[in-house]
């Protein structure tokens, strides 16, 4: 068939692309060429195309016309490798263009596209990309089912579906899953993703073509959406932070860091985990500077117990610092745990000052405060008769002197204004600091009408108020005022107890010629409170042979109470007595006008108040008159 004339008007085959093909089809439709002429044109296309493929070293960015080109060895903007002297196809469509290079020696395929200004576009060329296919050394193939193969032998790139009997597989979560194999020359790696759990395993190796190749062990890839089991030390570099975040708005437990020692035979003192703090020393060596650890105290089911402890490095070695379990204790404290809620330490400090402990003596340098209804208790469980607990207040003065205060014990309360005030207290003072004979005073103070003063004190005796002469010695009480019973004042005689002593009795009163001359005056008394029993023995020359007139008075050891009398027998012995020698019927009564005196009266008439005075004769040359008797009365 001869070529039609219209072919001379068709486009040159060197610039043939989809646009010209559309033009040919449209020419046939509109009758400009016939179908046979179109076929003849297309039959000549391979020959014409081959004739136009010539080697060029032009910049690939400038080869923008559709067609086939043979590249040289120095073309600019070419791929990285495996492209020299290889054919390139250019496909241009208006303002878009694509280039494809197939390397003649390795079947390496390179592609790129773009919309650069060279073809009327407003963009640029995309980078060259390598196309992987079954003929390259690294390739992806279709998924191949394997039933019981050794995973060490799957060394060609591709996807594989595993069975449940493959050898050299990961320890778990791999069967019936998909494995990706990627091989690059003499290196290879495998990756398995489990179809149910998304558990991901990876491993790599070298020289897959060698029977003695070495595979690395399978490693599980950590996931952020599930629990992880770590079997090796994990290292986070840089300046990392680990955040455990929970968005739960309820009151349940928040995020937790769990350290689990999965031992098949847990035992007492097993270390069950540590959180370690590491750093470098001055020699750049990595050191453990401290850690928080856990240890089993009792692994028995139902009664499990453990300790958490803190350790820190001191002077180049570790020291356990504190333990927490059945209470808490510091390392070195005797006795260890002391029970729930307790804290056992060798010493306690507050702002650098020691806190006193109960088993040793302490020196206080500041005021101490104890709060609560029962803030202090001194307990000693000693069953013997030895000295019990005591509170000691000491003033260590280098120059002690009389009247120095040794200490004060005060009782405070609030005033109506809300201010603290001293309501009562005790003071101790020095009376004499002389070594070997030192003496002291304990004072009792109270506040009355807003003024605090000493109300009583104890030295050798007791002194109440400010009486005359102060301390009266051991066993005495000196009162400023008389004591009261049920609001009534007591006389001082009411306070006397059982006592005995002597006094000097004497006769007086009456009208005695020549006076009374005593030769013997003996008296002995016994007291019990207000009751007095007095014994007397008096010998005296009364007058000079003349009987006295008026009543004779006998002195008493203590003043008698008003209207109180008791009679007692009196024995009278005298020379030249006018009447008998026995005055057994005579009595003695309290004189009505002279306190502390008793009157010797004649009781023969039975009228004690109006009895006649005794007639007593005395002679200076004879024996004296003797009066003996016992008087009982209320003082």
Neighbours of 161 (CB within 10 A): 14
CA–CA dist 485, 321 (Å, integer): 67
pLDDT, the chain, mean: 77
pLDDT at 517 over 60: yes
The stretch 303-320 carries a mean pLDDT of 87
Residue 388 has pLDDT above 90, yes or no: no
- Coil vs helix vs strand at 48: helix
Q: Is the pLDDT of residue 434 over 50?
A: yes
Lowest mean pLDDT among 42-56, 67-81, 597-611: 597-611
What is the Cα–Cα distance from 160 to 147, expressed in whole angstroms?
10
Burial class (CB in 10 A: 0-12, 13-18, 19+), 628: middle
Report whether 130 contacts 138 (CB < 8 A). no
Looking at the predicted structure, is the pLDDT value of residue 443 above 90?
Answer: yes
Long-range contacts formed by 505-508: CB under 8 A, 24+ apart: 505/534, 505/536, 505/537, 505/538, 505/554, 505/555, 505/556, 506/538, 506/554, 506/555, 507/538, 507/540, 507/542, 507/552, 507/553, 507/554, 507/555, 507/627, 508/552, 508/553, 508/555, 508/597
Residue percentage of the chain with pLDDT more than 70: 72
- Euclidean distance between the first and final Cα of the chain, in Å? 181
User: What is the rounded distance in angstroms from the CA atom of residue 328 to the CA atom of residue 310?
Assistant: 11
Dihedral angle sign, alpha carbons of residues 254, 260, 264, 269: negative
Whole-number Å distance between alpha carbons of 516 and 548: 10
pLDDT in tens, 146-178: 656 889 888 888 888 888 889 999 988 888 888
Element (H, E) at 50: helix 45-52
**DSSP letter for each residue of 577-615:** -SS-S--TT-EEEE-SSSTTEEEEE--TTS-TTTPPPP-
Give the pLDDT band (50/70/90) at residue 611.
very low
Q: Which residues of 346-364 are buried (b: 16+ CB within 10 A; e: fewer)?
A: eeeeeeeeeeeeeeeeeee
What b/e sequence results for 493-513 when a residue is b if at least 16 CB atoms lie within 10 Å of its CB, and e otherwise?
A: beebeeeeeebebbbebbebe
Model confidence at 610: pLDDT above 50: no
Angle of CA points 36, 39, 44, to nearest 5°: 130
Does pLDDT of 597 surpass 90? no
- Residue range 422-432: average pLDDT? 93
Q: What is the mean pLDDT of residues 279-293?
A: 90
Return the domain boundaries, the chain. 5-131, 144-221, 272-277+286-298+306-349, 423-481, 499-634
Question: Over 60: is that where the pLDDT of 269 sits?
Answer: yes
CB atoms near residue 179 (< 10 Å)? 22
Provide the pLDDT for residue 614: 42
Q: State the pLDDT confidence band at 1, using cuts at 50, 70 and 90.
A: very low
Q: 483 vs 345, which has greater pLDDT?
A: 345
**Three-state DSSP string of 189-206:** EEEEECCCCCCEEEEEEE
Q: At what angle do helices 35-43 and 45-52 cross, to 10 degrees?
A: 40
Residues 485 and 465: their CA atoms lie apart, in Å, by 18
Answer yes or no: is pLDDT of 96 > 70. yes
**Residues with Cβ < 8 Å from 537, sequence gap 6 or more?**
505, 520, 522, 523, 626, 627, 628
Predicted pLDDT of residue 253: 80
Q: At residue 296, does pLDDT exceed 80?
A: yes
pLDDT of residue 24: 62
Lowest mean pLDDT among 137-141, 338-342, 580-584, 614-618: 580-584
602-605-609 Cα angle (round to 5): 65
pLDDT of residue 74 exceeding 70, the answer is yes
Q: What integer pLDDT is reported at residue 25 of this predicted model?
A: 60
Span 449-493, pLDDT tens digits: 999 999 999 999 999 999 888 898 898 888 888 777 777 776 665
> Helix or strand or coil: residue 9?
helix
pLDDT band per the 50, 70, 90 thresholds, residue 584: very low
- Residue 573: closest CA among 527, 535, 625: 625
Residues 6 or more apart in contact with residue 19 via CB below 8 angstroms:
93, 94
Global pTM value: 0.37
Name the nearest CA neighbour of 135 among 113, 160, 103: 103
Q: How far apart are CA 236 and CA 243, in angstroms?
A: 13
Contact of 298 with 312, CB cutoff 8 Å: no
Local confidence band at 5 (pLDDT 50, 70, 90 cut-offs): very low
> Does residue 381 have a pLDDT over 70?
yes
If you average pLDDT over residues 559-570, what whole number do you get?
51
């Amino acid at each position: 068939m001869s070529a039609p004339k219209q072919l001379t008007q068709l486009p040159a085959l060197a610039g043939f692309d989809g646009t010209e093909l559309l033009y040919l089809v449209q020419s046939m439709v509109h009758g400009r060429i016939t179908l046979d002429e179109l076929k003849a044109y297309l039959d000549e296309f391979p020959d014409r195309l081959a004739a136009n493929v010539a080697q060029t070293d032009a910049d690939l960015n400038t080869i923008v016309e559709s067609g086939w080109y043979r590249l040289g060895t120095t073309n600019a903007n070419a791929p990285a490798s495996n492209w020299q002297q290889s054919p390139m196809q250019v496909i241009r469509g208006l303002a878009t263009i694509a280039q494809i290079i197939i390397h003649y020696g390795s079947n390496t395929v390179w592609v790129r596209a773009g919309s650069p200004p060279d073809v009327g576009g407003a963009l640029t060329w995309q980078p060259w990309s390598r196309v992987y296919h079954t003929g390259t050394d690294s390739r992806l193939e279709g998924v191949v089912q394997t039933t019981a193969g050794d995973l060490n032998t799957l060394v060609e790139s591709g996807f594989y579906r595993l069975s449940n009997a493959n050898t050299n597989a990961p320890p778990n979560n791999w069967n019936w899953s998909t494995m990706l194999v990627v091989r690059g020359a003499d290196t290879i790696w495998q990756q398995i993703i489990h179809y149910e759990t998304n558990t991901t395993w990876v491993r790599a190796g070298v020289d897959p073509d060698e029977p003695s190749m070495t595979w690395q062990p399978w490693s599980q890839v950590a996931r952020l959406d599930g629990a992880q089991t770590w079997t090796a030390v994990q290292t986070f570099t840089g300046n990392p932070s680990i955040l455990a975040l929970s968005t739960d708005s309820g009151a349940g437990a928040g995020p937790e860091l769990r350290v689990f020692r999965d031992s098949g035979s847990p035992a007492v003192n097993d270390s069950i985990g540590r959180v370690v703090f590491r750093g470098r020393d001055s020699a750049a060596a990595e050191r453990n500077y401290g850690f928080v650890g856990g240890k089993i105290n009792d692994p028995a089911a139902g009664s499990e117990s453990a300790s958490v402890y803190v350790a820190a490095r001191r002077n180049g070695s570790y020291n356990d610092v504190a333990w927490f379990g059945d209470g808490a204790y510091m390392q070195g404290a005797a006795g260890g745990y002391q029970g729930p809620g307790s804290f056992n330490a060798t010493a306690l400090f507050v702002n650098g000052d020691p806190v006193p402990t109960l088993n040793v003596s302490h020196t206080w340098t500041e005021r101490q405060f104890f709060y609560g209804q029962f803030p202090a208790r001194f307990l000693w469980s000693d069953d013997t008769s030895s000295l019990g607990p005591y509170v000691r207040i000491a003033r260590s003065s280098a120059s002690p002197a009389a009247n120095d205060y040794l200490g004060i014990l005060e009782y405070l309360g609030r005033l109506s204004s809300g201010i603290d005030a001293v309501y009562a207290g005790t003071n101790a003072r020095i009376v004499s600091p002389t070594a070997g004979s030192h003496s002291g005073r304990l004072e009792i103070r109270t506040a009355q009408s807003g003024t605090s003063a000493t109300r009583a004190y104890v030295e050798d005796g007791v002194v109440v108020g400010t009486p005359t002469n102060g301390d009266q010695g051991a066993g005495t009480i000196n009162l400023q005022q008389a004591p009261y019973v049920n609001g009534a004042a007591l006389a001082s005689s009411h306070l006397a107890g059982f006592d005995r002593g002597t006094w000097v009795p004497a006769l007086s009163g009456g009208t005695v010629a020549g006076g009374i001359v005593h030769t013997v005056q003996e008296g002995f008394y016994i007291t019990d409170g207000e009751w007095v029993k007095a014994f007397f023995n008096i010998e005296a020359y009364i007058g000079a042979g003349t009987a006295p007139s008026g009543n004779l008075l006998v002195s008493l050891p203590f003043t008698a109470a008003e209207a109180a009398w008791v009679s007692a027998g009196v024995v009278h012995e005298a020379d030249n007595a006018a009447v008998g020698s026995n005055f057994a019927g005579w009595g003695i009564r309290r004189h009505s006008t002279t306190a502390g005196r008793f009157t010797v009266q004649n009781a023969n008439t039975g009228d004690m108040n109006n009895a006649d005075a005794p007639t007593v004769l005395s002679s200076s040359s004879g024996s004296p008159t003797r009066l003996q008797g016992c008087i009982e009365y209320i003082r």
